[in-house]
Amino acid sequence: MKTYKKFLVALLYVYAVSILTAPVFAAETTNYSSERAKIEKISSQTNVLQSEIAHLQQEVKFLKKQQSSAQPSVTSKERRTLTKRSNTTSTDSSTTPLSQQELSRLASEERQYLPFDLDVPGQAFVSTGPYVGVPIQYAGNDLIINSPSVNTDLQLLAIRKSIREQLMAMGGMAPKEPYHSHLLFSGAIQTQANYTDIGGKPSTSNIDVSNVSLDAFMLGPSNWILGFMEFSYDNAKPTSNSYTVSNSRLFVNKAFVTLGNLHDSPYYGTFGKYYVPFGAYSSLMITDPMTKVMMRTKANALTVGVKEPGDNTFFGSLFVFRGDSHAASVSKLNNGGVNIGYNYKTGFFHGNFGAGVIANIADSSGFQVGNGFSQYEQISHRVPGVDLRGVFALGEHMDVIVEYLSATTAFNPNDMSFNGQGAKPWALDTELAYTFSMFEQPSTIAIGYQKSSEALSLGLPLNRYALVLNTALWRNTLESMEFRHDQNYAASDTGNGPTGAATTTGQCVSATCTASGKYDNVVTAQFDYFF
């Protein structure tokens, strides 16, 4: 019977891991809508699994009787797979146990459904997010809010904690089994079609594969360690020629290891290449919010954090890394920050709010690429940044997103200028969303207003108004349509990046140095397929 229990536990573990991780990784979700959808999803799946357990227990009893009778022909190898069920089998606990012929057939199919041997400790199995043969629900509302790729480590720790708690609820035996390494793959393919009416210039249109990613989530062999890798596709135009599709570069976007177990301890640590926990950048829009473009920071970093369990709890983290931008003669371990937040749930209201600080915003991708610091990293002095944010759910259908990020002091005019003075940029994102069903599928409509200040050199507009509709017509897909209206900086405004990168006096080294004062209108349709 120990072997039967081993197989039953392993089967339920594979089943639970596969269901609970489908397609979470591509969507990388800390947002309010996905959390609510996951809870509902887990609740419905729990009922099905409990019924399945009851039936499997009856089969084990039946097999025990067979074992004690004069039928010694079933080997120990076969007994490990006798309780494997197809997803079309009835879960009624009164169903007649499987026949000897069915049991033998299922035993011969062990490798197809359970690709590892319980008697070989440490042997790994590989799976994709949606487990083969298990029907998954329409999960569009899990994908409504575009994931900002921040706090991915904490998301994965929370997922593994949910898996363990679900397994404990099914009998509590799984954690006693020898640990195995598990590799779960998921990913996304994203395509876009857009039309852009540029103020004062000819309009443009395009069809593009805007994103392809493959995520690898590694669990174990210890329940205190996990790893994550994300392989992404670069759709940027090649620099050497105008043949657009000749680029298609594949690169490692993120790779990190996390030590922690939220089931046993609220503390965790992460090291590797990832977006540091400064800002949240939650958004329902197709186009990245200006807050994200300006301040999101990727680094080879070390993070330590804490996440208390429960609905009304604090969370926080500290991070440190060596930034490329530096005020000293050489670069060293010179950047870091703090992130704190609070999750709340009280009756009609729930959500989270928080704040963060980073020592030098010049290391963010917006300033490195937009302002041109990647061409000249030595700056006059570091410029700290601050983040204030909140996601507020009003009942089951209405949600509000607010985030504000700003430099705390101005740059030296030789590093980043606006109208001849040192720039002190900031950005604001506000969104209001309403969730409903369209054609019996989860859908969201949202409006947004964004604003930037002294950010001309980053290539951002002064004001942005946006309207978006998101829905999920098929499983593991997200269909979106966005209209965006941008107001550019005035024609009299000027900006520039680091003068040290210029080869001639007055040369423009940033993304934008002058503005038109006109309006741009953009219509974008997007299709996401998650697996």
Residue 96 included in any domain = no
Q: Which residues contact 396 (CB under 8 A, 6 or more apart)?
A: 36, 435
Residue 205 included in any domain = yes
How many Å apart are CA 190 and CA 371, to the nearest integer? Answer: 28
Cα–Cα distances (Å) from 357 to 277, 340, 387, 509, in that order, read 10, 9, 6, 28
- State the residue range of the domain holding 476: 179-530
pLDDT at 162 (0 to 100)? 74
Residue 93 included in any domain = no
Tens of pLDDT along the chain (531 residues) come to 555 455 544 555 545 545 444 444 444 434 444 455 555 555 555 555 556 566 665 665 655 555 554 444 433 333 333 233 333 333 333 344 545 555 445 444 443 433 444 344 444 556 655 422 223 333 333 433 445 577 888 888 887 777 677 666 655 554 544 455 778 888 889 999 999 999 888 999 999 999 898 888 888 778 899 999 999 988 887 777 777 777 778 899 999 999 999 989 999 999 999 999 999 998 999 999 999 999 999 999 999 999 998 889 999 999 999 999 988 777 788 899 999 999 999 888 889 999 999 999 999 999 999 999 999 999 999 999 999 999 999 888 899 999 999 999 999 999 999 999 999 999 999 999 999 888 888 889 999 999 999 999 999 999 999 999 999 888 888 899 999 999 999 999 999 999 988 888 889 999 899 999 999 999 999 998 887
In terms of phi and psi (left: phi > 0; alpha: psi -120 to 50; beta: otherwise), the region of 43 is alpha
Cis amide prior to 221 (ω within 30 degrees): yes
Contact 259, 272 (CB under 8 A): no
pLDDT at 137 (0 to 100)? 35
Q: What are 416's two structure tokens?
A: 């980043």
Contact 311, 344 (CB under 8 A): yes
How many Å apart are CA 427 and CA 408, to the nearest integer? Answer: 12
The dihedral through the CA atoms of 265, 37, 444, 482 has a sign that is positive
Contact 468, 284 (CB under 8 A): yes
As beta bridge partners, residue 352 has: 343, 391
Of 109, 13, 125, residue with least CA distance to 98: 109
Residue 117 included in any domain = no
- 166 Cα distance to chain centroid: 22
Amino acid symbol at 150? V
pLDDT at 439 (0 to 100)? 83
Residue 208 included in any domain = yes
SS3 of 106-141: the string is HHHCHHHHCCCCCCCCCCCEEEECCCCCCCCCCCHH
Chain length of the chain: 531
Cα–Cα distances (Å) from 453 to 99, 290, 405, 460, in that order, read 73, 11, 11, 9
- With vertex at residue 60, the alpha carbon angle to CA 59 and CA 64, rounded to the nearest 5 degrees, is 115
If one counts the domains in the chain, the total is: 1
Residue 40 included in any domain = no
Is residue 330 classed as helix, strand or coil in its secondary structure? coil
Contact 257, 242 (CB under 8 A): no
Spell out the alpha helix ranges (H) of 307-440: 365
SS3 of 8-53: the string is HHHHHHHHHHHHHHCCHHHHCCCCHHHHHHHHHHHHHHHHHHHHHH
Residue 244 included in any domain = yes
Q: Which residues contact 437 (CB under 8 A, 6 or more apart)?
A: 443
Contact 511, 458 (CB under 8 A): yes
- Residue 341 has a CB neighbour count (10 Å cut-off) of 22
CATH code at 420?
2.40.160.10
The dihedral through the CA atoms of 283, 289, 291, 295 has a sign that is positive
- Phi/psi at 213 (nearest 5 deg)? -140, 145
Strand order in 417-418's β-sheet?
Answer: 421-422, 417-418, 495-496
How many Å apart are CA 49 and CA 20, to the nearest integer? Answer: 12
Q: What is the pTM (predicted TM-score) of this model? A: 0.76
Of 150, 130, 129, 140, residue with least CA distance to 33: 140
How many Å apart are CA 475 and CA 491, to the nearest integer? Answer: 47
Residue 22 included in any domain = no
